[in-house]
């Protein structure tokens, strides 16, 4: 056979990997496995079978975790937390380093076990999953070492409940456990019911590393076990990777419990190919984007968008490449595609494809094994952007495709989804790439590459792909909280109407402030605001859900603010401060009348408010992104972007300073805000209307709706066009706010403790981090 014939046929013999060592480990340690709790393995309880999806044969019996098992694990983690959290950073770093080294020493066993349990090709487990898991522990050993110097004033959260999926069992474990331990937390982790074996092997290496008892606990089982972890009153942090439906349920279940939450959910990621792209390279990238791990990847490039002029040629070449993909025994190193994880997953994919009524379906003529959960590489072309398969996550080796004409249309189609996890674009025009990447609604964007990951580069989504980041300093921050004294927020009641009101002059009614204009409340009601001495200070409108609707529409219409230069935003904030200073006596008098405070205290709050505006004017062009030090020939840019439209419930205890401490960071970072002022002292916010009007602030950037913070806050939380909700108001039903936010899975920052508004905790990076989202843009170097 000639070299040409070899390359034409791509025929080559099998290269099987032995499963003997992995099967021997199962037989020796099992074949029935208990949990890993408090540093040792428990006796098996009620069990279920875990099977090799490529053959259907049983591998082992896994214990179904009960509420009692979860409670035992949480108790062990709670007991271990004080000592582990107080260890020196260097001591924790040494443990993480030991875990990384042990992962290397057992690399082949982990890879084979992962392939047997999950069905992915051995070359993917060997060359991608296991090395990346090792990298996460090495990288987080470094973050652990540097935690105190680089994150001063921060402390670990406590016991972290973690629930991971079946598509990358060990890698997702590393993504969760490494930052939690580096920050000083303890962990109770539940692996997926289909793929628990590598997590249990990890429990073994925790013993080998001498990790203190209770620091890492692993409880196996199905969704009931995960729910018990999520809802356990002693877990302070929940980190979940999985479907959007389950993520929404977790948001609802944890509402009002005060738990920190990180959700990495589903996706329907666009793969955009422009007409100047290197087509063959783009096709090879696409093979990795959608048929890697049989398409069972949350960030899979499952929506192919091809520029119209090259679509026919691209699809023809793609079909030719698909025809050469090999499916079969995952332990064969020559295999491109292994088995789907379970027959139920196979049935779900088949049902979705069979229900499709649009376009043309091409199934690659791949020889599939007669047994096992195998599905052929599939391409469906000619779909409309609104077709169900273009909108819903299939989570299998099925690629759907449509075309576009212009870059603007490509962005519109790409963003036409409820998800926002990842995106890929291919073009030889760097200017075009750097123009399109920031416009894509995605937490990660790959340029002329796909599926690049590293422990130093933050990963996570927006919209219904969840919130929070994993990897790098951004991921570590999700496992830390401010180490400050707790001062619970207490509501301040409005001053009641006096029995004998003091005479007043000309009536003064504060309307709402929507779209740069004063507007009467939709309901037509106003509420009297009285001074401590019984003087009527004026009336404030009582806003309702229609007023919130109007404010959100105005904020959405002011999207250009996010594209303004940071320097321009800084100038506006300085101008607001200048105009406020010019009317200092008026605002000081208002504070004294409303709150009954002393002259010196009113002066101090006014001065602090002006300084606060200057601080965020200074921060506007200094809250930089960073270049992640990824081990490729290229860069990963972790860029700070505005969140979008933020609803903010202002505090009572510092009515002017608290209001500006929320508004200023929001607009400094390019967001728009709907502010609900203090119910006790609303005039502190309404007096700002003329300040904003005369400070070059574009209409719609700041909107103010007075009224009941609880009712207005719940409306903001439920609104699909609000991207985040901040609450510093007292007496709030936090559970109602967080439950309402589950509709579009918006970010919430619900504060039960009052910061010192005049001190360091009342401003700074924590506010700026909440006002920004990190987008990671990967740009490889060279040809």
Residues annotated as catalytic (active site), given as ranges = 264, 298
| Measured CA distances, 45 to 42, 61, 80, 214, 783 (Å) | 9, 10, 24, 20, 56
273 backbone dihedrals φ, ψ, rounded to 5°: -120, 115
* Rounded Cα–Cα distance for residues 172 and 193 (Å): 14
The alpha-helical segments, DSSP class H, found in 355-491 are 388-391, 407-414, 430-436, 472-477
The full 3-state SS of 66-114, as one line of letters, equals CHHHHHHHHHHHHHHHHHHHHCCHHHHHHHHHHHHHHHHHCHHHHHHHH
Identify which of 664, 82, 755, 773 has the alpha carbon closest to the alpha carbon of residue 482: 755
Q: Which residue has the tokens 């960030």?
A: 299
Q: Are 496 and 455 in contact (CB under 8 A)?
A: no
**What's the burial of 2, exposed, middle or buried (CB within 10 Å: 0-12/13-18/19+)?**
exposed
* Rounded Cα–Cα distance for residues 74 and 145 (Å): 26
Running DSSP on this structure, what letter comes out for residue 121? -
639 backbone dihedrals φ, ψ, rounded to 5°: -100, 140
Helix (H) or strand (E) holding 295: none
* Rounded Cα–Cα distance for residues 468 and 464 (Å): 12
DSSP string, 708-776: -HHHHHHHHHH-TT--EEEE--TT--HHHHHHHGGGTT-EEEE-SB---TTSGGGSSHHHHHHTEEEEE
Name 297's Cβ contacts closer than 8 Å, sequence gap at least 6.
Answer: 167, 451
Cα–Cα–Cα angle for 676, 678, 683, nearest 5°?
95
Strands 645-649 and 724-727: parallel
**What's the burial of 252, exposed, middle or buried (CB within 10 Å: 0-12/13-18/19+)?**
middle
User: Is the Cα torsion angle 81, 85, 91, 93 positive or negative in sign?
Assistant: positive
Kindly report the number of other CB atoms within 10 A of residue 332's CB atom: 18
Q: Rg (Cα) of the chain, in Å, rounded?
A: 28
Q: Are 467 and 748 in contact (CB under 8 A)?
A: no
Running DSSP on this structure, what letter comes out for residue 128? I
* Rounded Cα–Cα distance for residues 632 and 779 (Å): 10
* Rounded Cα–Cα distance for residues 286 and 296 (Å): 14
Q: Are 716 and 704 in contact (CB under 8 A)?
A: no
**What's the burial of 266, exposed, middle or buried (CB within 10 Å: 0-12/13-18/19+)?**
buried
* Rounded Cα–Cα distance for residues 244 and 663 (Å): 31
Cα–Cα–Cα angle for 176, 178, 183, nearest 5°?
105
The alpha-helical segments, DSSP class H, found in 465-583 are 472-477, 545-557, 566-582
The distance from CA 705 to its chain's CA centroid, rounded to whole angstroms, is 29
The distance from CA 649 to its chain's CA centroid, rounded to whole angstroms, is 22
* Rounded Cα–Cα distance for residues 60 and 370 (Å): 23
């Amino acid at each position: 056979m000639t070299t040409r014939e070899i390359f034409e046929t791509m025929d080559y013999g099998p290269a099987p990997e032995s499963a003997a060592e992995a099967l021997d480990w199962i037989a020796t340690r099992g074949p029935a496995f208990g949990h890993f709790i408090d540093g040792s393995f428990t006796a098996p309880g009620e069990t279920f079978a875990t099977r090799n999806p490529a053959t259907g044969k049983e591998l082992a019996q896994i214990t179904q975790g009960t509420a009692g098992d979860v409670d035992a694990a949480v108790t062990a983690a709670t007991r271990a937390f004080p000592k582990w959290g107080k260890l020196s950073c260097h001591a924790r770093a040494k443990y993480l380093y030991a875990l990384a080294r042990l992962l290397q020493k057992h690399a082949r066993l982990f890879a084979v076990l992962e392939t047997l349990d999950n069905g992915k090709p051995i070359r993917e487990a060997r060359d991608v999953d296991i090395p990346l898991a090792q990298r996460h522990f090495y990288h987080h050993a470094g973050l652990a070492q540097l935690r105190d110097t680089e994150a001063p004033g921060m402390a670990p959260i406590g016991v972290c409940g973690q629930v991971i999926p079946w598509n990358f069992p060990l890698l997702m474990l590393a993504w969760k456990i490494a930052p939690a331990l580096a920050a000083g937390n303890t962990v109770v982790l539940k692996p997926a019911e289909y793929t628990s074996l590598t997590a249990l092997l990890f429990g073994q290496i925790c013993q080998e590393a001498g990790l203190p008892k209770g620091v890492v606990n692993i409880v196996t089982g199905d969704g009931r076990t995960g729910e018990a972890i999520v809802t356990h009153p002693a877990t302070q942090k929940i980190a979940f990777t999985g479907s959007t439906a389950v993520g929404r349920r977790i948001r609802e279940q944890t509402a009002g419990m005060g738990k920190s939450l990180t959700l990495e959910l589903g996706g329907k990621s666009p793969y955009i190919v422009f007409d100047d792209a290197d087509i063959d390279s783009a096709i090879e990238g696409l093979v990795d984007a959608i048929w890697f791990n049989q398409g069972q990847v949350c960030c899979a490039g499952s929506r192919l968008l091809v520029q119209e002029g090259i679509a026919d040629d691209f699809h023809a070449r793609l079909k030719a490449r698909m025809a050469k993909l090999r499916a079969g025994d995952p332990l064969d190193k020559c295999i491109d595609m292994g088995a789907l994880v379970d027959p139920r997953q196979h049935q779900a994919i088949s049902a979705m494809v069979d229900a499709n009524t649009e376009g043309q379906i091409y199934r690659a003529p791949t020889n599939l094994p007669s047994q096992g959960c195998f599905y052929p590489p599939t391409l469906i072309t000619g779909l409309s952007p609104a077709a169900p398969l273009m909108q819903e996550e299939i989570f299998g080796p099925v690629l759907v495709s449509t075309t576009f004409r212009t870059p603007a249309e490509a962005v519109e189609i790409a963003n036409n989804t409820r998800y926002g996890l990842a995106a890929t674009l291919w073009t030889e025009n760097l200017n075009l790439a750097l123009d399109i990447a920031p416009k894509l609604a995605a937490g990660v964007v790959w340029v002329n590459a796909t599926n690049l990951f590293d422990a130093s580069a933050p990963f996570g989504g927006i919209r219904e792909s969840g919130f929070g980041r994993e990897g790098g300093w951004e991921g570590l921050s999700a496992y830390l909280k401010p180490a400050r004294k707790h001062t619970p927020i207490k509501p301040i009641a409005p001053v009641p109407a006096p029995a004998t009101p003091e005479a007043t002059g000309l009536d003064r009614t504060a309307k709402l402030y929507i779209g740069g204009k004063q507007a009467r409340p939709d309901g037509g009601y106003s509420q009297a605001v009285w001074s401590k001495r019984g003087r009527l200070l004026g009336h404030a409108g009582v806003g309702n859900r229609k007023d919130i609707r109007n404010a959100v529409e105005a904020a959405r219409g002011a999207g250009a603010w996010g594209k303004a230069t940071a320097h321009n935003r800084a100038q506006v904030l300085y101008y607001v401060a200048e105009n406020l200073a010019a009317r200092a006596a008026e605002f000081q008098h208002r504070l004294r009348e409303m709150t009954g405070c002393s002259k010196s205290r009113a002066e101090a709050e006014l001065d602090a408010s002006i300084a606060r505006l200057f601080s965020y004017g200074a921060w506007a062009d200094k809250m930089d992104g960073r270049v992640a030090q990824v081990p490729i020939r290229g860069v990963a840019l972790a860029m700070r972007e505005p969140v979008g439209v933020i609803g903010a419930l202002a505090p009572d205890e510092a009515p002017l300073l608290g209001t500006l401490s929320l508004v200023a960071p929001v607009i400094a970072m390019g967001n728009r805000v709907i502010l609900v002022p203090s119910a006790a002292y609303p005039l502190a916010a309404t007096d700002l209307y003329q300040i904003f009007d005369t400070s070059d602030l574009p209409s719609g950037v700041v909107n103010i709706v007075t009224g009941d913070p609880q009712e207005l806050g719940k409306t903001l939380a439920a609104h699909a066009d609000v991207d985040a909700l901040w609450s510093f108001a007292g007496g709030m039903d936090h559970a109602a706010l967080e439950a309402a936010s589950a509709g579009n899975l918006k970010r919430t920052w619900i504060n039960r403790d009052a910061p010192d508004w005049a001190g360091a905790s009342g401003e700074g990076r924590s506010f700026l981090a909440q006002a920004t989202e990190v987008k990671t843009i990967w740009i490889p170097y060279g040809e």
